[in-house]
Structure 1
């Protein structure tokens, strides 16, 4: 801060002695309406959304912002980004300049020529500037007064740490044991047209939070308001609950700012210390024990809000949820969104945060406002219930530009963590009605290649944000690589890579296009089992560029790491639960009539691999593991259904190897053709193996065509009697070798794989041929 003198609001004695623990003025008490012992939890609150894509956005790189680092140096990997840019907007002066704040300190102006200017750096302006702990700390937001061109005024919010808290009095009492504080500042530029700031500033609001999350995320003016309107020149501030909303009444209490949207007049003087004004039209003005600044309440993390430039100019809020739900609200003054009594349109229980509960019969008496659109976290089945599963809504924009009529009236938003993009119709999102359906939006690069945002940023954690220019055209930006993209075209969505016939029985599907945002060493499953696959030993490095078919951007690399050394470092993949109950999410394979294992394989190295456990230096494994479902009593090797290369009568063959009964004999169906002809090195090949346990029939397919082959064992090793496989859950899936629990190495595969599918039926030849054709785009 140097020798600068910060303006600090004088806080009245009455305000300083206000109790943050006072009973809530309006809204329910913390215990009222909580789920009871007899209430059934809802584990999948919104199973129908998001729906399949109807359109796609073509993204063209617009700008690359400089690399920056947090202050102090972070210990949380989620903060270790290229930079932490979090918004793009246009300066309201007709200059065409775009502004971009970076949580790490700088604010940039971008000219039409693409030239960048560091307009202001908060690291130089406040010696207590703090951005190195907590996802939202730092230079949070900047907004320009609607008359900026004339008065040069703009407003920022940034955070300070404990030293800054100790040196400055807050506008209202900090939350107990506050360790981060949000500071709202008014700046007045000497020359509004300049590309670097010179001028004066004054602090107008300061409030401290008990944790380093859910502080003040956005401040903004309503750009649809015109002179003479109630809203014109009023500043909105989205104040989070400071992480204190779970199990407390903080977001419901009207005597403190946390968990609210505030609305103030920055040019007024009737607020605390005369720093700002409290509009008479605010809903709680004059209410006893209530802050007049409150516009709406009952929020956890009101992350991003916007106004529809047309229609009725409604405010839309993207509200980040706890462990189960992300929601979009239409917000009007006086609204109570219900947190933490409610999570969206459900009851919330702080003890079981990943499940929700039905509304009580007397719910209308509370008067809560519910979402107009929402999607649930749909956390992986093998992920801890109350852990972060990597979802947080990134509130977006209602498109009202002129270039893309296909987007007209759509609210475009997304998930800031994994970078998924969604849309819904603004005109149909009505308060008090059922939620409007959410639709997935596909993304394409400027060459027309379909990609996910994780491909654009080369990272499973995207940190996605949205913005628009003065013409209403849409931009996407990401902290992961510090880039901004402009939407330059809209095209119809491409069909799913999975046919309907396969989708009906698809238990597990791993296409290696879905890194788990919380942990890139895991792949998110796309089948009904919704189960994470571990990328063993190689982690996220195993997910490599290039796929097996058009539209695939990534594949899985598997390999033997040290051919001459016994160890547990081979690259393989799988999932494992050695308990007697096995992997519960794979229960579709419990007493299954049939199974299909299929996927793309490309041999990339020497197969079979050397066997370092043998005394013979020339010894090789007698098998090459591809992919399979383990049996219910497996040690990580024995299988219920497996696609593999294995020695048959001393000769390596491509086989389907299956077992109907746990502990029973296996049967093998071996292809007649030489495996090296079937799997030429360096060539992608689609393979499938089918197992019908009720008849004992097995089959192999290559590129959609059946392979000639024969059974290895005589007689009936499966003990076929028309009934299905054992009534046990598999202990897992193995890919590229045995023992997915990584206790031993066996049968590694020096190969790449793509789009592995595991079905709970023995698919017929036409189903497999149609799926192969779909991959090929035929």
Structure 2
């Protein structure tokens, strides 16, 4: 049987150079901001729950451990939410109740207190649940199960935990509480308490005539040992794979399921017929795009450097543990890093990611320590309520609670990876973060859900809350106003701090000599304020700027001033060739004190901000948008629809605009200012 593989022909992503034999220090750029904010509306908070016995790992001590939301496929509109600590909940028009206590049903072997994936891992309802009452669950077992129950597929001799898939059949599918029968479908052993069975699910786009209809997909992690072994590449083992079985059949190894005849390795000697795709570390979440060609996407949690999104096709080899993302992984290397691909990479036929982000490890971190990152796979939005989100694969980083997206149309095998951009979060009418919403600065434990209409949900273990994505808004989208100033390049329209340093040769405003520090608060050394027209409340500043200081100098900058009320009261956008120290390449306010950094992009722990705005001596188009009502500030460069920098501050609601630098030289032309004129 033919196996489809895909070869990465070129790496069109900006990666840091590496010396031969040295790991790549910073594999991928930090996702830029999208300027799109998701509006979240709280719909539920599920009850507190705890692992038993109490865990020693603080990461397991959460409000609860809800990890998914889906809709029961019976037309009732009921939503289901599994809690890894043992219960399956239903939400029926806002009313919540426990549908099944899986932990109690399993008994003392039910394992929840060690390993982030332990407990009631997932639930999946059969597409025909309305008629057959069947749904499926994943849970972990230890204790007596390790000696009294035998795994169905090859498992380590020294296994620490069993992953178990169970079929439940409800006597009355319409009932609010489960009553019925159950049978065990599949049991697999894992070497450690991590990376066991993850998501299970049915392809919701498959119709009765498709080969996929009624087949159960099973994401099986590498058991935590792929980092030091070739287990994920071994087709004779179920660990580190996606399996596909027919739970309605009976010709499998234990007589409880069958292997679909269309599975890719069914006829290969020594291979498990259950395998659909392989080469995975922690294949945490998968989903199918309800639009387009109904592609299957997998959110895959990497080892120490890169987390990736893959398109998964039949027979695909995702490369772990020979590859991590689009790089080589070297088992046993003390750096735990990633390396450039070897020259003969094409011969292996690995499937490479369609989107990814790296871990941005701190320089102070131990090389092989846990990076504290985990990609949470999500969904391509195909709902009808929020048109601006259509076609976006929305996913995230679970620990910090960051929401990302990539355009589905750009996520193509064999092509450059799609750009990943960060989304903002609005709740209760204001810009916020998920860390603030869950009131936990350390762990959000973000997860995603989707209902039958394709609308999205966000969940957090930190406080057990569920929010529905009810809208999307564009940051700094206020209407600037109708007062307009353009072409003001004459000296009479400008008020410099030091007039002798400036030239006005016609079409340009030129800071010809660098300024020097002045008494008072730390602020730009030299700038000129535009006197033509009014002071502005909300304002949009457009111009082309050029940095004339040679690129050989490190700390080159020009600034755009706005909200200027006096020499010690104003905002400025610092456009720099450097983004690695606090005063560079950001949005700042001066309010009778040293400049204070405001932008969301500054990462103090890593001492890095937004990508450098001006790194050469060419002209660059710059737009600064300030919405006085909301305090939202956005800076755009070179016509990009995505803001380079964003901030929110209400210190000054109006003022004048200007141009300057700290201690460099530069110039401005093509000035256009539109806003709401105000009398101060």
User: What secondary structure is seen at the aligned counterpart in 1 of 2:473?
Assistant: strand
Task: State yes or no: 1:313 paired with 2:294.
Answer: yes
Q: Is the 8 A contact 2:580 2:607 kept in 1?
A: no
Pairs within 5 Å for 1:367-378:
367-378=349-360
Task: State yes or no: 1:124 paired with 2:104.
Answer: yes
Structure 1 residue aligned with 2:406: 424
Task: State yes or no: 1:189 paired with 2:170.
Answer: yes
User: What secondary structure is seen at the aligned counterpart in 2 of 1:274?
Assistant: coil
Deviations 1:182-238 (A, max 9, x none): 100000000000111000000010111111110011000000000011000000000
Pairs within 5 Å for 1:279-298:
279-298=260-279
Residue of 442, 463, 470 corresponding to 2:424: 442
Deviations 1:638-685 (A, max 9, x none): xxxxxxxxxxxxxxxxxxxxxxxxxxxxxxxxxxxxxxxxxxxxx999
Task: State yes or no: 1:325 paired with 2:306.
Answer: yes
Which segment is superposed worse, 384-393 or 402-411? 384-393
Deviation at 1:143, TM superposition (A): 0.4
Q: Is the 8 A contact 1:704 1:765 kept in 2?
A: no
Structure 1 residue aligned with 2:471: 489
Q: Is the 8 A contact 1:410 1:425 kept in 2?
A: yes
Structure 2 residue aligned with 1:407: 389
Structure 2 residue aligned with 1:360: 342
Q: 1:525 to 1:161 in 2, by over 3 A?
A: farther
Residue of 136, 147, 168 corresponding to 1:155: 136
Q: Is the 8 A contact 2:631 2:648 kept in 1?
A: no
Q: Is the 8 A contact 2:154 2:238 kept in 1?
A: no
Deviation at 1:255, TM superposition (A): 0.7
Deviation at 1:51, TM superposition (A): 2.0
Residue of 224, 233, 252 corresponding to 1:243: 224
Pairs within 5 Å for 1:586-597:
none
Distance in 1 of aligned mates of 2:397 and 2:212: 29
Deviations 1:482-511 (A, max 9, x none): 000011111013499996525544434487
Residue of 441, 453, 462 corresponding to 1:471: 453
Deviation at 1:704, TM superposition (A): 12
Q: Is the 8 A contact 2:410 2:417 kept in 1?
A: no
Pairs within 5 Å for 1:312-711:
312-350=293-331, 351-447=333-429, 449-460=430-441, 461-494=443-476, 501=574, 504-509=577-582, 525-527=607-609, 550=631
User: What secondary structure is seen at the aligned counterpart in 2 of 1:466?
Assistant: strand
Q: Is the 8 A contact 1:212 1:242 kept in 2?
A: yes
Q: 1:451 to 1:174 in 2, by over 3 A?
A: same
Q: Is the 8 A contact 2:89 2:98 kept in 1?
A: yes
* Residue ranges of structure 1 left out of the alignment (5+ in a row): 1-25, 28-35, 517-521, 531-548, 553-598, 602-682, 686-702, 706-759, 768-777
Which segment is superposed worse, 385-394 or 490-499? 490-499
Deviation at 1:513, TM superposition (A): 7.7
Deviation at 1:38, TM superposition (A): 3.8
Which segment is superposed worse, 352-361 or 74-83? 352-361
Deviations 1:555-596 (A, max 9, x none): xxxxxxxxxxxxxxxxxxxxxxxxxxxxxxxxxxxxxxxxxx
Structure 1 residue aligned with 2:27: 45
Deviation at 1:388, TM superposition (A): 1.5
Q: 1:205 to 1:55 in 2, by over 3 A?
A: same
Distance in 1 of aligned mates of 2:217 and 2:201: 5
Q: Is the 8 A contact 2:301 2:375 kept in 1?
A: yes
Structure 1 residue aligned with 2:627: none
Distance in 2 of aligned mates of 1:513 and 1:84: 29
Q: Is the 8 A contact 1:324 1:353 kept in 2?
A: no
Q: 1:383 to 1:193 in 2, by over 3 A?
A: same
Task: State yes or no: 1:275 paired with 2:256.
Answer: yes
Q: Is the 8 A contact 1:158 1:183 kept in 2?
A: yes
Q: 1:63 to 1:499 in 2, by over 3 A?
A: farther
Task: State yes or no: 1:83 paired with 2:64.
Answer: yes
TM value normalised by structure 1:
0.62
Count of matched residue positions in the alignment of Structure 1 and Structure 2? 513
User: What secondary structure is seen at the aligned counterpart in 2 of 1:268?
Assistant: coil
Pairs within 5 Å for 1:174-185:
174-185=155-166
Deviations 1:33-78 (A, max 9, x none): xxx994242111112x412213111111111000000122110111
Task: State yes or no: 1:110 paired with 2:91.
Answer: yes
Larger RCO (alpha carbons 8 Å, 6+ apart): 2
User: What secondary structure is seen at the aligned counterpart in 2 of 1:329?
Assistant: strand
Q: 1:550 to 1:79 in 2, by over 3 A?
A: farther
Deviation at 1:600, TM superposition (A): 13
Q: Is the 8 A contact 1:50 1:440 kept in 2?
A: yes
Deviation at 1:475, TM superposition (A): 0.4
Distance in 2 of aligned mates of 1:340 and 1:383: 23
Q: 1:435 to 1:529 in 2, by over 3 A?
A: closer
Q: 1:424 to 1:134 in 2, by over 3 A?
A: same
Distance in 2 of aligned mates of 1:482 and 1:95: 24
Q: 1:199 to 1:54 in 2, by over 3 A?
A: same
Structure 2 residue aligned with 1:742: none
User: What secondary structure is seen at the aligned counterpart in 2 of 1:322?
Assistant: coil
Distance in 2 of aligned mates of 1:428 and 1:182: 36
Q: 1:380 to 1:140 in 2, by over 3 A?
A: same
Task: State yes or no: 1:264 paired with 2:245.
Answer: yes
Deviations 1:586-627 (A, max 9, x none): xxxxxxxxxxxxx999xxxxxxxxxxxxxxxxxxxxxxxxxx
Deviation at 1:181, TM superposition (A): 1.2
Q: 1:37 to 1:379 in 2, by over 3 A?
A: closer
Q: 1:210 to 1:503 in 2, by over 3 A?
A: farther
Q: Is the 8 A contact 1:450 1:551 kept in 2?
A: no
